[in-house]
Structure 1
Amino acid sequence: MSHRWFNDNNREILLKKITNRELVAGVIGLGYVGLPLAVEIAKAGFNTIGFDVKKEKVDSVNQGHSYIGDVAGSDLKRLVEESILAVTTDFSEISNVDFIAICVPTPLDAHGRPDISHVESSVKSIARYLHKGMMVVLESTSYPGTTEEIVKPILESTGLKCGEDFYLGFSPERVDPGNAIYNIGNIPKVVGGLGTAAGELISAMYAAVLQNEVFRVSSPAVAEMTKMLENSYRNVNIGLINEFAVFCNKMGISIWEVIEAAKTKPFGFVPFYPGPGVGGHCIPVDPCYLNYKAGEYNFRFSMIEASVKVNDFMPEYCVKRIGDILNRRFRKPLDGARILILGVAYKPDIDDCRESPAIRIIDKLHTEGANTIFFDPYIPRFLHRGKIYEGVKELTVDIIQSADLVVVTAQTTHKADYEFVRRHAKAVFDTRNATKDLADRSNIELL
């Protein structure tokens, strides 16, 4: 009965702290997910402490400088100056927080298997300063079961008991960098708590911070599987439309026109668009996490595996199309050709090139003997396999005319004048239909 009394009493204390904005929040990992979340929590009136192992990130935030496109520098500067938000590399400050969200990377290792070492390291840091009444939420994407099988045992190794002494849950991040409509504040939030009290308290915290619905599910595993479904759905549909694009090209049919026609159906069809492949942290990575877990149950996601193969094939297919265009139009081989790549981000108008198909295209072009240059207004340079690639600083007439072919791999809707490019280019291969509004398309070929 003493545990039950403490649990109920602690629940009321935490709910009151949330209501009165007396709760202190923490966020571990100040990247594309963590920094926007920390800013949103602070903007809601909660004193917030951000944690990161990289001193340069911490110094930047504490100086009021944003390095994330979706975080306004003015917001960050105000919150820091008003001492609502502070960030540190000193993880002992965790002892001062009532709520902490883990927003660290979950990449794949060299063998394509889930690497949750950053999550484990963060949870161990929390365990050192875990105290009664604390809420811990994992937001980093991982396979279903991570919260209960990995996070919970580490935290309980302290002697504190989950659901009685502290509250644990999973809430999948849903950030969409560069989205002008949906941001971390207005995207509905899914919360799966380990026990009723955890679900209620963690949901109450997010409801106090965000401007949209908080949807509670019955367990962390359901919330984890929700993220897997969301991104696998996209992976499968992108794979389907990419396969359609390859076949339509063989038949001399425009896949883009086909999609526009299909979109007129008012039910039963959601448009997806082809491209040079998939990138970013989620879509190419999440199926690997799901299949890792499925292997424990002797199960295979055949549709997901098929879509992954199609999407992984697209950079190679784009290089083949580049070679075909050079040969057909100019009788020029790929070996020795000069190719201008427009956009190395994994999606339009962001400064993130993680898992970018454009970089894989550059790699394959180099393998075939082509020379490449690139322009991206958001990414002046990138590091790949230990080598720094420098982009051209300005898209000039001379730069465009020097290329045997211009390839649009990441549409930049605000900072690239495609008519200017088309006018001065020998030919353009547009993998994103970025040039769809141009009247003269005589030197343009679409994916």
Structure 2
Amino acid sequence: MSIGIYGVGFVGKEVAELAVERGRSVACVDVDPSVVERIEAEEYLAVGDHERVSATTDGAAVAAEADTCLVTVPTPVDRAERVDLGPLRAASETIAEGLRSRDAPEPCLVVVESTIPPGTARREIAEVFDTYGLELGTDYYLAAVPERVDPGNEAWPLERIPRVVGALSEPGLERATAFYDNLLDAEVHPVDSVEIAEVSKIVENAFRDINIAFANEIAVSLDSLDVDARSAIEAAATKPFGFMSFDPGAGVGGHCIPVDPHLLIGEAEDAGFTHELLTVARTINSRMPEYVADMTVDALTRERVLPQDATALLLGRAFKPDLADDRNSPYFGVREGLADYDVTVETYDPILAAESSVDSPYQPVDAVVVVTDHEAFADLDPERFAELGVSTVVDGRDAFDAEAVEAAGLRYEAVGEV
């Protein structure tokens, strides 16, 4: 079985590696020639058998030969926070062009793993295929199987994560379910419609966004009441049912949680429904980087350091610990918030060393601000900070021991802690 993978970013890369590990032949399609070159040079994919891998920018040629086409292109939101389906439409047109010249006894299985609003497969992709004269069930099957990749999570590699499958037809559902049954070591859950599958991914991440927003709002609220929010959440979590614990922090980053709720908010708005809860949750979480910046300036002021005379070192640029990915990272909001106060900002991230402005966490700055709790930060020495003139540590991730920081003579402020 040959598989064409359209878009070899964070998701497509992991899918390609797993498919090769399972003995499949994979043709990687990407619009970026440098990605294609790195794949061909055997520098991009972590696979043992590179003979099973090819790469090209000619997606139509791949679709003309492949048994299965997996679409893993990005679906970002624009400045108006509406989904940009441009990459998805482009991939669909490329695949359609290839399918039109395909000569095979069985229809090609086309699967969208990209996160998309409900109705997109039926309304956008199937209509593109229709304009190319393709027939569902004769030329192609179309399914939605939202990705569930968690980069850096060794406990849940791709092959162990259950998947939801929806399709436009019963034969397509059977074909897609069989494909993932063979690819994964996890349960595959077929659902009654392609729209259910599409929206399931958004529901998953909107749930997390809402609960993180609740934890963040509790943290800000209890800070004004001089109550330790993290301890309160830990106390609530002793209840063995009806409660799920989420931690407050400097903000939410990545391509999923900050983005996916907007796909449902916008689609529902077009249908005349306003998502109040999802919108409020996005607002709360989006404000947390600014809150951390305000905390930092307030702490510096209490230490008699004027913002315009201060330098702050941000620890962590990545959105997730020990992952070289800064998409939608809270770091950017914290940096901009401090810049609004004319604070000079330096950056140190051992995982994104090329993006760091300094090569060590030990710098003669006024404040150290934890944005990402990389494992490397766990062993940092507050006494060395003090020796360099640091007066304040602002902890956005509960990364430091408060007593150790204060024992070194430093002011310690943390999100959700008193």
TM over 0.5: yes
Partner of 1:430: 395
CA 393–368 in structure 1, closer or farther in 2 if over 3 Å, else same: same
Amino acid at match of 2:65: N
SS at match of 1:49: strand
- Give the 5 Å matches for 1:300-311: 300-311=274-285
- Give the TM-score taking structure 2 as reference length: 0.92
Q: How far does the alpha carbon of each residue in 1:39-95 deviate from its partner, in whole angstroms, 9 at most, with x for none?
A: 1111111111111111111122222223xxxxxx6x42x221xx1122222222221
Which of 227, 248, 264 aligns to 2:222? It is 248
Structure 2 unmatched ranges of 5 or more: none
Per-residue deviation at 1:211? 1.0
Give, in whole Å, the separation in 2 of the partners of 1:440 and 1:352: 29
SS at match of 2:211: helix
Amino acid at match of 2:328: E
Which of 205, 220, 225 aligns to 2:194? It is 220
Which of 86, 90, 100 aligns to 1:117? It is 86
Per-residue deviation at 1:137? 0.6
Matched, 1:297 2:275: no
Matched, 1:357 2:330: yes
Amino acid at match of 1:424: F
Please tell me whether the aligned partners of residues 419 and 438 of structure 1 are also in contact (alpha carbons under 8 angstroms).
Answer: no
Please tell me whether the aligned partners of residues 321 and 372 of structure 2 are also in contact (alpha carbons under 8 angstroms).
Answer: yes
Matched, 1:392 2:358: yes
Give, in whole Å, the separation in 2 of the partners of 1:368 and 1:353: 23
Per-residue deviation at 1:282? 0.9
Give, in whole Å, the separation in 2 of the partners of 1:352 and 1:212: 27
Matched, 1:61 2:39: yes
- Give the 5 Å matches for 1:263-342: 263-328=237-302, 330-342=303-315
CA 156–422 in structure 1, closer or farther in 2 if over 3 Å, else same: farther
Partner of 1:98: 67
SS at match of 2:377: coil
CA 216–301 in structure 1, closer or farther in 2 if over 3 Å, else same: same
Aligned length: 402
Please tell me whether the aligned partners of residues 107 and 137 of structure 2 are also in contact (alpha carbons under 8 angstroms).
Answer: no
SS at match of 1:100: strand
Identity of aligned residues (%): 34
SS at match of 1:323: helix
Matched, 1:367 2:333: no
Which of 84, 88, 101 aligns to 2:56? It is 88
Please tell me whether the aligned partners of residues 422 and 428 of structure 1 are also in contact (alpha carbons under 8 angstroms).
Answer: no
Matched, 1:191 2:153: no
> Quick check: 316-325 or 85-94, which moved more?
85-94
Matched, 1:140 2:111: no
Q: How far does the alpha carbon of each residue in 1:321-362 deviate from its partner, in whole angstroms, 9 at most, with x for none?
A: 11111011x211222310000001112111111111111111
Per-residue deviation at 1:423? 4.0
Per-residue deviation at 1:207? 1.1
Q: How far does the alpha carbon of each residue in 1:155-202 deviate from its partner, in whole angstroms, 9 at most, with x for none?
A: 122222113331001010111121121121111011101111111101
- Give the TM-score taking structure 1 as reference length: 0.87
Please tell me whether the aligned partners of residues 295 and 413 of structure 2 are also in contact (alpha carbons under 8 angstroms).
Answer: no
Partner of 1:446: 414
Give, in whole Å, the separation in 2 of the partners of 1:140 and 1:421: 43
Matched, 1:346 2:319: yes
Matched, 1:28 2:1: no
Partner of 1:6: none
Give, in whole Å, the separation in 2 of the partners of 1:133 and 1:441: 66
Partner of 1:411: 373
Please tell me whether the aligned partners of residues 339 and 406 of structure 1 are also in contact (alpha carbons under 8 angstroms).
Answer: yes
CA 197–275 in structure 1, closer or farther in 2 if over 3 Å, else same: same
Amino acid at match of 1:123: S
